[in-house]
Amino acid sequence: MTDTRDCVHDWQRVGVSPDVVHVLDFELDLTDAVVSCARCEALALLHMLGWRTSGSRVFGVSRLPADGVHTFLRNMASEFCDLTRKRDEAEMLVSLAEPAMGISSMRVNPLVTVDYRPLDNGTGPGPLGMTAGHRSWRDRNDSDYWLTLFEAGAF
């Protein structure tokens, strides 16, 4: 196993498919998910920032702690009588994610990295001060912003 700090992860490597560990949200295809790198087993949250009808989506990529993901997966496999518990577990997992380290353009079905752009310092905003925060794509009003910047190579 490679040291995760030295690895060029699957979500950064063009033409490579990161392993989908758990789908958090799905709307006409994957929108939010936990993925892993086959080379070093690092875990990341993909949270959709925007999409085109052609099956291309732009995701913010944030590191996730392995122990938090393992706890989440164990809890999701448990039976709950509280109908809101699984939603709460997902929200807890997202809260563990580090700030977005980069933006990845991916083709979906199958999920394949098309391009990856690191954010300046791993925690900073995009060129116009917008952040690739962990908001649900359903609550975002800036998807055109991210798509336009990504396609224009503004990173």
d(CA 48, CA 86): 20
> What is the residue range of 73's domain?
19-152
Q: Mean pLDDT in the chain?
A: 81
Classify residue 28: in a domain, yes or no. yes
The dihedral through the CA atoms of 94, 100, 102, 106 has a sign that is positive
Q: Are 97 and 45 in contact (CB under 8 A)?
A: yes
The band of 2, judged by pLDDT with boundaries at 50, 70 and 90, is very low
10 lies in some domain: no
pLDDT at 132: 59
pLDDT of residue 40: 93
What's the domain count of the chain? 1
In a domain, 3, yes or no: no
Instruction: Please classify residue 21 by burial: count the beta carbons closer than 10 Å to its beta carbon, then call 0-12 exposed, 13-18 middle and 19+ buried.
Output: middle
Buried b (16+ CB within 10 A) or exposed e, 57-84: bbbbbbbbeeebbeebeebeeeeeeeee
- The pLDDT assigned to 80 comes to 73
Q: Is residue 92 part of a domain?
A: yes
35: left (phi over 0), alpha (psi -120 to 50) or beta: beta
Indicate whether 6 belongs to any domain: no
pLDDT digits (tens, 9 = 90+) for 103-148: 888 988 889 998 888 876 544 445 444 455 666 666 766 566 666 6
pLDDT tens digits, 47-89: 988 887 667 888 989 999 999 999 999 988 887 777 788 888 8
- In this structure, is residue 58 part of a structural domain? yes
